[in-house]
Each structure stands twice: as structure tokens, then as C-alpha cells.
Chain A
């Protein structure tokens, strides 16, 4: 029904557009004076008046509809029991809505509910009708106003321009507000978490076992339990171990790829090789995940066992290795660009001194491109730290404090997944721990990205 209403409004808008244009054409032929804007701007003028405010009204009504319905339908229940819990309210409401649709999940329906169902059907219909009336009259009325306002001296072109400005601004605001909102909700939940678990325990504790808290009744949590359950050091260690292994793969391979592409490959080869390498970064990580778990992990296990190590079937090495492959393009692509942008005159200067190609690369190009190359490393690290799926699938979930790459390991992101899989109580410290982890991760990657961008920027300024 909402869709139909929107279609109606749009139709009015389209109609308004035609009318506005027609009026402009008439004005133009009738008056000798010049009309400020092209005809179709007058069409847009009416269309904007018809569509935008009425849709805003529609949005507003829809936003409040749920609240109004709830208050009205549940009024009897609240009269009976003023302290009705939010969860009970939701349950009741769901029951009422289902019953109104003829879905009967409960054998007995109390007369109070039957009443409420009637009220529900009534208020829903009322609000729907009202919505139609209000929205359509807003659209119609404003179109009319706009139509009347069209005169030869109305600068509708400027109006359209300002409207677009506002539209673009609002859209960018949406993105910004989302970021801010996410940060604040993270921050808020994290603070709640730290009010139950001291931040020092979280940052320096050596034991991570939130499931313990979950198993016990969350009503009477022992503070000692909380202390011992949320030490994030094993997660930090696991994260850095796996990221380190990944970088051990990605840095040499990526850098050498970059050098090959920038200095040795023919332009043709470079043109098609680079996109292909970049595809590596576009493969869904879940695919890497099962590749890591099913192919690489067994190989690592066999190799390790042959070499006399005890290797668990899930290992940090397998996950780190595959992750390293995944982030090769981050290193190679960016480094390639940076090496490429070292001015040709430096290459010639070096060749003219009698340096060979590899000497030129080692002694002139890489040092000159170093800041940018480091920037690419940092971006790759922040990608590695944020990666989840590969670790979930290939490195295991055990939060052990270990530096042994053949051991299972777990990371910050993985634990967030583990914590939030399945049903959750929103208030339990376990759930909030996920927010704390998320915030930590966010801060770390933000810092890394920030540093990386600064480094790259500093570099870019040097040769311009």
C-alpha cells in the first residue's frame, strides 16, 4: 500500500512537470520579456514541490505509526499492569498482529487480546486512510501553489540548483552520520562493558573465555568470573601472529611483483597482469576461507608433522598464509603505482652513471618510493587485521596465548563472530565485549590507515 501511494505521488509529480513546462511555454510566447529559465526547469519546479514534501510527510507518518498503534492497542493491558516489560509488550503485540492475520499460534486467546485485535485492525485502517488523504493533499496543494507561483521572473533554474545542492548534501550527510552513529553506538556499549569489566583486565588479561559467563546464570555474576573471562591479550596476540604471517607472505611477493610490473614488464603485459592480480583482492574471503581450511591447512599439517612438529588441524600458519595471498594486491598494486611514479629522470640519471637495472631499483627507485611502499604495507596490515572469514575457517576458535604458528589461534574479529552467533541478550557483558573488541579493532585500523595515508601523502608531495 505504501508503494502504491508513492507511485501516486510520483504520478502527480510527473503531471506537475508537464503542466509547469506548458505554463512556461505559454508565458514565453505571451510575454515579450525574457523568461529567466529554460522551460523544463519550471516543470522540475512543480515536480519538486509535489514530490519532496509529501514524501517527507509520508516518511514521518510511517515512522510514528508503529508507536501510535502500540500505545493505542496496548492501552488496556497497560491499564491492568502499568509495569509491563518491553519484551512482554513486544510479545503481546506480535500475538495480536498474528491473530489479526489469522495465524493462531496460541490455543487460548484471552478476551482482552480479541478486543485488542479489533482495535488493531481499526487503527491500522484509520491510519492508512489518513496517510493517503494527508500525503495526497500535500502533494496536490503544493503543486497548485507552485503552479500559481510560476511567473516570467521566477528563477526556477536557480531553485533547481539549490534543490540539488541540498539533495547532494543530505546524501553525504547520511554517510557521515552513519559513521558517527556507528562510532557512538560502539563507544556507548563499550563504556557499559567497561563499567562491568575493568578496562585494565580487558587490555592486559591473559585469559579469554566469555562462554563461561554465558553458561552461568547471568543474574548473579561473580566479579571474579568477569575478571578472568575477558582478558583480550590472547586475541591481540593471535591477531598479530596471523597478521604477521600474512605480511611475511604478502610483503616479499607483493613487492617483487610490483618491481617486476613497474620496471621489467612490457607496458602490454602490465596492462593485463595488473587487473588480474587485483582480482585476488576481490575474491570473496569465504572462498579463501575454505581454500585455507580444506587445502592449505592439511598441507601445512603434513609438512609440519614430517618436520617433527605437532600441528593441530587448524593452524595460524594456514590462515596467515592464505590471508597473505589475499592481500598481495594491496602491496603490489600500490607499490607498483608508487615505483612507477618515481620520475623517469632519476632512472636515467642512474643508468647514465653505469648502474644496472637492479642496482637502479635497489639504490634509487626503492629508496625514493619507500614512503609510498611503507604506506602500502600499512594498508595491507590493516586489511589483514580486519579479516575474519579466513581465520574463522582455518585458524580455529581457541583463544590460546601462543606464538607457535602451527597452533590454532584466534583473532579479534573471529571472537566477535563467535560471541554474536546465535541468540543474544543485549545486556550481558559477553555481548558488550564484542563491542569493546570492535572498538579496539576500529581504533587500530583507523590509526594504521591514518598513518598510511599520511605517509603516502608526504611522498606524493615530494615529486610534484
Chain B
């Protein structure tokens, strides 16, 4: 078993007065895919967004508890949220490329973080990121055309390429395939098994099969609580909790 990369302890999240997460504690391991499953509204996205502090963006949202990456508390005052997000990338449910060229979409992160020293550096980053996202061959002739002009699946891979352009350690994916057809989904899943060699990946998904296919560990959320977390095999073949059993056999949710 790999070493623990992310460790969440006793997380409570509130939207205003409404509590969305209750005392969630969970460890996620380096260079593995961890899946988060559970019925809609159970707090998966909320939990995911604690890891790169995207909840900070929402005014009414407050987070209690402790999240550490490599043993460092990411909610500590000395942490710059920008550098945190540089090393914790995120891919969203709906592809959200910037209304810029494909090239500029990828170059965005390296530019703001001053990663590339020269134009050739930047060109190289763009190319390798696109290659890692398995998109380069499809777009290499139109790097300077708008990213919004790509197909949905291509856009999502563009967003993945954008996320890995700054060479993060962790990639958070919030239902990255929910807007895609099975072929594009398969491409992204292949991509994930490739990417997990380099990155720690946390993925939220509504598809049991997807969780089973790509992940090593799975956490099951229900009504804001983490019901059960275990190896994916165990969760799907022999869950310890009745609710998990019910959910994966499709009895509710």
C-alpha cells in the first residue's frame, strides 16, 4: 500500500446554517485513484472541494476540521491558497475551457505561476500536457483555435490537460464523465489509469462501474456522512454496511 497523501480529519462543512458534511475522516493514498460515491446531494463535491479549498470561494461556506497533504495542514494560515491549488488540480463536472485558444487554455496555469522561462518552455509544456491528456494528436493542427470549439469529450480532456499543465501532485475530478458519451468516457478512464502513475487522483462518480473500473479505494457518502471507506473490491463485493450494500445494488439513490 502506498503512503498516505491526503488525510482529512473530522471535517464539518456548513453552508450558512445548513450542515452539509458531518465529521468526515478519510485517508487517500499517493498515486492511486480513490473514488467517492453516494446519492445526489450527499456531499461528495463538498468534500472534494475541501481538498483544494475551493469552498473558500463560496461566501456562506465554512469548513471545520483538518485536511493535510503530506502531513501539512492546508488550512493553516501560512499556506497560500494559490500555491495549494497549483499542486491540487481540479477537473469539473461540466467541461469549462476558457474562451481562449487551446494553446492559451493550457498556457494559463504555467503563465500565472511563472513556470515557463521561455516561449519554447511554454510550447513544450503545452505539448506534453496535451499528450498526457491524450488530446495532442487530435488538436495539434489547431492549437490556436478556440478551445470552446472542441467536442464535449475533447473539451474535458483539454480541461484535464489544463489541470496537469502546472504539474500538480493531486488531481480532483468531480464527475468528469457525466456529460460524455461511453466512448469519450472510456478514453478518460484509460487516461486516468495512465495518469495515476504520476498523480494522486480523487474522483467523484455516479457510475458504480466506473468506480469499480478505475479506483483502488472507494468511499461511500450518505446524507453528509462518510458511511464506509475501504478497498474498491471490498466495497463492491462485501460491504460492511447495509446502506452501502443497498446503494451499490441499486436499492436506493
| Chain A residues within CB distance 8 Å of chain B | 266, 343, 345-356, 359, 363-364, 367-368, 462
Contact = CB atoms under 8 A, between A and B. Distances in A.
A349 B98 contact: yes
Given A266-B59, A343-B96, A349-B159, A354 B83 contact: yes
B82 interface: yes
A351 B57 contact: yes
A351 B54 contact: yes
Interface string B57-69: 1010000000000
Contact of A354 (B57, B92, B100, B112): B112
B108 A363 contact: yes
Interface string B105-123: 0001100110000000000
A355 B98 contact: no
Interface size class of B (residues with CB under 8 A): 20 to 34
B52 interface: yes
Contacts of A367: 99-100
A340 to B, nearest CB: 15
Nearest to A360: B112
B92 to A, nearest CB: 6
A75 B212 CA distance: 105
A34 B57 CA distance: 64
Contacts of A346: 96, 98-99
A348 B99 contact: no
Q: Ordered nearest first, which 7 A-B pairs have the shortest CB separation?
A: A354-B85, A352-B90, A345-B96, A354-B86, A349-B96, A354-B82, A353-B109
Contacts of A348: 54, 57, 90, 92, 96
A355 B111 CA distance: 10
Given A349-B98, A354-B85, 7 more contacts: A348-B92, A351-B85, A352-B54, A352-B92, A353-B86, A354-B84, A356-B82
12 contacts: A349-B98, A350-B108, A352-B52, A352-B89, A353-B86, A353-B162, A353-B163, A354-B82, A354-B84, A355-B82, A355-B108, A359-B112
Contacts, number: 64
Contacts of A355: 82, 108, 112
Nearest to A463: B99
Contact of B92 (A345, A356, A359, A368): A345
Interface of B: 52, 54, 57, 59, 81-86, 89-90, 92, 94, 96-100, 108-109, 112-113, 159, 162-163, 166
A462 B146 CA distance: 12
A256 to B, nearest CB: 21
A453 to B, nearest CB: 21
Instruction: Identify which of A346, A347, A349, A350 gathers the most chain B CB atoms within 10 Å of its CB.
Output: A349
Contacts of A462: 99
A353 B85 contact: yes
A354 B54 contact: no
Contacts of B85: 351-354
Nearest to B85: A354
A315 B207 CA distance: 71
Contact of A353 (B94, B100, B166): B166
Contacts of A345: 92, 94, 96
B162 to A, nearest CB: 7
B137 to A, nearest CB: 24
Contacts of A343: 96
A298 to B, nearest CB: 46
A44 B159 CA distance: 64
B99 A353 contact: no
Instruction: Identify which of A343, A355, A359, A367 gathers the most chain B CB atoms within 10 Å of its CB.
Output: A355
A354 B99 contact: no
Nearest to A345: B96
B72 to A, nearest CB: 16
Contacts of A353: 85-86, 89, 108-109, 112, 162-163, 166
Contacts of B82: 354-356
Contacts of B57: 347-348, 351
A359 B108 CA distance: 10
Nearest to A356: B82
Contacts of B162: 349, 353
Contacts of B159: 349
B94 A354 contact: no
A368 B98 contact: yes
A347 B92 CA distance: 12
Contact of B112 (A349, A363, A368): A363
A359 B109 CA distance: 11
Contacts of A359: 112
